[in-house]
Amino acid sequence: MHRGLFITFEGGEGSGKTTQINRLAHTLSQTGHKVLTTREPGGTPEGEKIRDLLVQREGGNWTPTAEILLLFAARVMHVEKIIKPALEDGKIVICDRFTDSTLAYQGYGHNHALDAIENVRILTLGDFGPDLTIILDIDPEEGLRRSDRRLAAEQFNVKEREDRYEQMDIEFHKRLRRGFLEIAGKEPERCHVIPAMQDIDVVSNQIADIVRKKIAG
Protein backbone atom coordinates (compact mmCIF):
# COMPACT_ATOMS: atom_id res chain seq x y z
CA MET A 1 0.00 0.00 0.00
CA HIS A 2 1.28 3.45 -0.91
CA ARG A 3 1.88 5.98 1.85
CA GLY A 4 -0.78 8.67 1.99
CA LEU A 5 -0.33 12.42 1.61
CA PHE A 6 0.04 14.88 4.50
CA ILE A 7 -1.43 18.31 3.72
CA THR A 8 -1.42 21.22 6.17
CA PHE A 9 -3.34 24.48 6.05
CA GLU A 10 -1.85 27.61 7.58
CA GLY A 11 -2.76 31.27 7.84
CA GLY A 12 -3.72 34.04 10.21
CA GLU A 13 -7.03 34.56 11.96
CA GLY A 14 -10.01 34.75 9.60
CA SER A 15 -8.19 33.37 6.57
CA GLY A 16 -10.93 30.80 5.94
CA LYS A 17 -8.99 27.61 6.65
CA THR A 18 -11.97 25.72 8.06
CA THR A 19 -14.11 26.36 4.99
CA GLN A 20 -11.36 25.44 2.55
CA ILE A 21 -10.37 22.30 4.45
CA ASN A 22 -13.97 21.09 4.37
CA ARG A 23 -14.24 21.83 0.66
CA LEU A 24 -10.99 20.06 -0.20
CA ALA A 25 -11.91 17.03 1.90
CA HIS A 26 -15.25 16.79 0.10
CA THR A 27 -13.64 17.11 -3.34
CA LEU A 28 -11.05 14.43 -2.59
CA SER A 29 -13.62 12.07 -1.09
CA GLN A 30 -15.83 12.48 -4.16
CA THR A 31 -12.94 11.34 -6.35
CA GLY A 32 -12.36 8.17 -4.34
CA HIS A 33 -9.63 9.18 -1.92
CA LYS A 34 -9.67 8.21 1.73
CA VAL A 35 -9.46 11.47 3.69
CA LEU A 36 -8.88 12.34 7.34
CA THR A 37 -9.28 15.91 8.60
CA THR A 38 -7.77 16.93 11.90
CA ARG A 39 -6.42 20.00 13.69
CA GLU A 40 -3.74 21.39 15.95
CA PRO A 41 -3.43 21.76 18.78
CA GLY A 42 -5.70 18.79 19.22
CA GLY A 43 -6.49 15.65 17.27
CA THR A 44 -6.20 13.34 20.28
CA PRO A 45 -7.84 13.45 23.73
CA GLU A 46 -4.50 14.57 25.16
CA GLY A 47 -4.05 17.20 22.48
CA GLU A 48 -7.55 18.58 22.98
CA LYS A 49 -6.83 19.09 26.68
CA ILE A 50 -3.72 21.04 25.78
CA ARG A 51 -5.72 23.01 23.22
CA ASP A 52 -8.07 24.15 25.97
CA LEU A 53 -5.09 25.56 27.84
CA LEU A 54 -3.69 27.45 24.86
CA VAL A 55 -6.48 28.87 22.73
CA GLN A 56 -9.38 29.61 25.05
CA ARG A 57 -9.63 33.17 26.32
CA GLU A 58 -9.23 32.11 29.96
CA GLY A 59 -6.79 29.27 29.25
CA GLY A 60 -3.84 30.82 31.05
CA ASN A 61 -1.10 33.38 30.70
CA TRP A 62 1.60 31.16 29.17
CA THR A 63 5.07 32.33 28.26
CA PRO A 64 6.13 31.72 24.62
CA THR A 65 8.52 28.97 25.75
CA ALA A 66 5.79 27.21 27.72
CA GLU A 67 3.44 27.48 24.75
CA ILE A 68 6.02 25.91 22.43
CA LEU A 69 6.59 22.95 24.75
CA LEU A 70 2.86 22.38 25.20
CA LEU A 71 2.26 22.58 21.46
CA PHE A 72 4.94 20.03 20.66
CA ALA A 73 3.77 17.73 23.45
CA ALA A 74 0.32 17.71 21.83
CA ARG A 75 1.91 17.37 18.38
CA VAL A 76 3.93 14.27 19.27
CA MET A 77 0.76 12.51 20.42
CA HIS A 78 -1.09 13.67 17.31
CA VAL A 79 1.59 12.48 14.89
CA GLU A 80 2.14 9.11 16.53
CA LYS A 81 -1.48 8.23 17.31
CA ILE A 82 -3.38 9.77 14.41
CA ILE A 83 -1.37 11.17 11.52
CA LYS A 84 1.24 8.47 10.90
CA PRO A 85 -1.22 5.56 11.16
CA ALA A 86 -3.57 7.30 8.70
CA LEU A 87 -0.72 7.91 6.24
CA GLU A 88 0.37 4.29 6.53
CA ASP A 89 -3.21 3.34 5.69
CA GLY A 90 -2.92 5.34 2.47
CA LYS A 91 -5.16 8.22 3.55
CA ILE A 92 -4.82 11.87 2.66
CA VAL A 93 -4.49 13.69 5.98
CA ILE A 94 -5.56 17.34 6.00
CA CYS A 95 -4.49 19.17 9.14
CA ASP A 96 -5.58 22.62 10.29
CA ARG A 97 -2.19 24.02 11.42
CA PHE A 98 1.09 22.25 12.15
CA THR A 99 4.68 23.27 12.93
CA ASP A 100 4.57 26.36 10.69
CA SER A 101 1.98 27.85 13.02
CA THR A 102 4.30 27.41 15.98
CA LEU A 103 7.05 29.21 14.10
CA ALA A 104 4.66 31.97 13.03
CA TYR A 105 2.76 32.50 16.29
CA GLN A 106 5.39 31.85 18.94
CA GLY A 107 8.43 32.72 16.80
CA TYR A 108 7.48 35.69 14.69
CA GLY A 109 4.42 36.77 16.67
CA HIS A 110 5.94 36.50 20.15
CA ASN A 111 9.52 37.13 19.02
CA HIS A 112 10.82 33.80 20.32
CA ALA A 113 14.08 32.54 18.84
CA LEU A 114 13.31 30.62 15.64
CA ASP A 115 16.30 28.32 16.01
CA ALA A 116 15.09 27.26 19.47
CA ILE A 117 11.73 26.25 18.00
CA GLU A 118 13.53 24.37 15.23
CA ASN A 119 15.58 22.48 17.82
CA VAL A 120 12.42 21.38 19.61
CA ARG A 121 10.91 20.30 16.28
CA ILE A 122 13.91 18.14 15.45
CA LEU A 123 13.98 16.65 18.95
CA THR A 124 10.29 15.70 18.89
CA LEU A 125 9.52 14.98 15.22
CA GLY A 126 12.85 14.33 13.54
CA ASP A 127 12.43 14.67 9.78
CA PHE A 128 8.65 14.18 9.79
CA GLY A 129 6.66 16.99 8.21
CA PRO A 130 3.96 17.92 5.68
CA ASP A 131 4.20 16.91 2.03
CA LEU A 132 2.26 20.02 1.03
CA THR A 133 1.26 23.21 2.82
CA ILE A 134 -1.43 25.69 1.77
CA ILE A 135 -0.97 29.16 3.28
CA LEU A 136 -4.06 31.34 3.05
CA ASP A 137 -2.81 34.92 3.10
CA ILE A 138 -5.00 37.77 4.29
CA ASP A 139 -4.57 41.31 5.59
CA PRO A 140 -4.63 40.99 9.40
CA GLU A 141 -7.25 43.69 9.95
CA GLU A 142 -9.61 42.13 7.43
CA GLY A 143 -8.88 38.65 8.78
CA LEU A 144 -9.83 39.62 12.30
CA ARG A 145 -13.10 41.03 10.99
CA ARG A 146 -14.04 37.84 9.19
CA SER A 147 -12.60 35.30 11.62
CA ASP A 148 -13.84 31.75 11.09
CA ARG A 149 -13.88 30.81 14.76
CA ARG A 150 -17.64 30.26 14.55
CA LEU A 151 -17.23 27.69 11.77
CA ALA A 152 -14.42 25.95 13.62
CA ALA A 153 -16.51 25.87 16.80
CA GLU A 154 -19.43 24.30 14.95
CA GLN A 155 -17.26 21.67 13.24
CA PHE A 156 -15.47 20.54 16.38
CA ASN A 157 -18.33 21.18 18.86
CA VAL A 158 -16.38 23.80 20.78
CA LYS A 159 -18.38 25.72 23.36
CA GLU A 160 -15.72 27.96 24.89
CA ARG A 161 -14.44 31.10 23.20
CA GLU A 162 -11.27 30.09 21.34
CA ASP A 163 -10.21 33.65 20.69
CA ARG A 164 -7.15 34.15 22.88
CA TYR A 165 -4.95 35.03 19.91
CA GLU A 166 -7.60 37.22 18.33
CA GLN A 167 -7.42 39.43 21.42
CA MET A 168 -3.77 40.31 20.73
CA ASP A 169 -2.85 43.64 19.19
CA ILE A 170 -2.67 44.24 15.45
CA GLU A 171 1.14 44.38 15.45
CA PHE A 172 1.22 40.76 16.63
CA HIS A 173 -0.97 39.77 13.71
CA LYS A 174 1.18 41.73 11.25
CA ARG A 175 4.27 39.87 12.49
CA LEU A 176 2.31 36.64 12.18
CA ARG A 177 1.51 37.32 8.55
CA ARG A 178 5.11 38.22 7.79
CA GLY A 179 6.18 34.98 9.42
CA PHE A 180 3.97 32.80 7.23
CA LEU A 181 5.18 34.57 4.09
CA GLU A 182 8.82 34.17 5.08
CA ILE A 183 8.28 30.48 5.83
CA ALA A 184 6.74 30.06 2.37
CA GLY A 185 9.64 31.90 0.78
CA LYS A 186 12.13 29.52 2.35
CA GLU A 187 10.28 26.37 1.20
CA PRO A 188 8.57 27.21 -2.11
CA GLU A 189 8.26 23.59 -3.22
CA ARG A 190 6.22 22.64 -0.14
CA CYS A 191 4.40 25.89 0.58
CA HIS A 192 1.84 27.51 -1.70
CA VAL A 193 0.52 30.97 -0.80
CA ILE A 194 -3.02 31.76 -1.91
CA PRO A 195 -4.68 35.17 -1.46
CA ALA A 196 -7.61 34.45 0.83
CA MET A 197 -9.61 37.55 -0.14
CA GLN A 198 -10.46 36.10 -3.54
CA ASP A 199 -13.87 34.61 -4.21
CA ILE A 200 -14.32 31.47 -2.12
CA ASP A 201 -14.79 29.28 -5.20
CA VAL A 202 -11.65 30.69 -6.82
CA VAL A 203 -9.65 29.84 -3.70
CA SER A 204 -11.13 26.32 -3.60
CA ASN A 205 -10.29 25.70 -7.25
CA GLN A 206 -6.72 26.91 -6.82
CA ILE A 207 -6.22 24.61 -3.84
CA ALA A 208 -7.74 21.65 -5.66
CA ASP A 209 -5.43 22.21 -8.64
CA ILE A 210 -2.35 22.31 -6.41
CA VAL A 211 -3.38 19.12 -4.60
CA ARG A 212 -4.19 17.27 -7.82
CA LYS A 213 -0.75 18.07 -9.20
CA LYS A 214 0.86 16.86 -5.97
CA ILE A 215 -1.09 13.59 -6.05
CA ALA A 216 -0.16 13.07 -9.70
CA GLY A 217 3.48 13.44 -8.73
* Spacing of C-alpha 49 from chain mean position: 18
More confident: 172 or 164: 172
For 193, the enclosing helix (H) or strand (E) is strand 191-195
Give the per-residue pLDDT at 160.
47
CA distance 59 to 151: 20
Q: Which residues contact 4 (CB under 8 A, 6 or more apart)?
A: 34, 86, 87, 88, 89, 90, 91, 92, 93
* pLDDT at position 150: 46
Max distance between CA atoms of the chain, in angstroms, equals 48
Instruction: Give the DSSP H/E element, type plus range, for residue 214.
Output: helix 200-216
In angstroms, the CA 34 to CA 11 distance is: 25
Q: Edge-to-edge, what's the strand order for the sheet holding 35-39?
A: 35-39, 92-96, 5-11, 132-137, 191-195
What average pLDDT does the chain have? 90
pLDDT-derived band at 161 (thresholds 50, 70, 90) equals low
pLDDT of residue 165: 62
Q: By percentage, how much of the chain surpasses pLDDT 90? A: 77
Higher pLDDT, 91 or 57: 91
Q: Residue 57 — very low, low, confident or very high, per pLDDT cuts 50/70/90?
A: low
The domains found in the chain, sorted by start residue, are 5-216 (3.40.50.300)
Q: Which helix (H) or strand (E) covers residue 92, if one does?
A: strand 92-96
pLDDT band for position 157 (cuts 50, 70, 90): low
Predicted local distance difference test score (pLDDT) of residue 64 = 85
Res. 153: pLDDT tops 50: no
The per-residue pLDDT for 209 is 98
pLDDT at 169: 83
- pLDDT over threshold 90, residue 182: yes
Best CA proximity match to 114, nearest among 52, 195, 189, 175: 175
Per-residue pLDDT of 17-47, as tens digits, reads 999 999 999 999 999 999 999 999 999 999 9
Put residue 123 in one of left, alpha, beta given phi > 0 → left and psi -120 to 50 → alpha.
alpha
Q: Which of the two residues, 143 and 123, has the higher pLDDT score?
A: 123
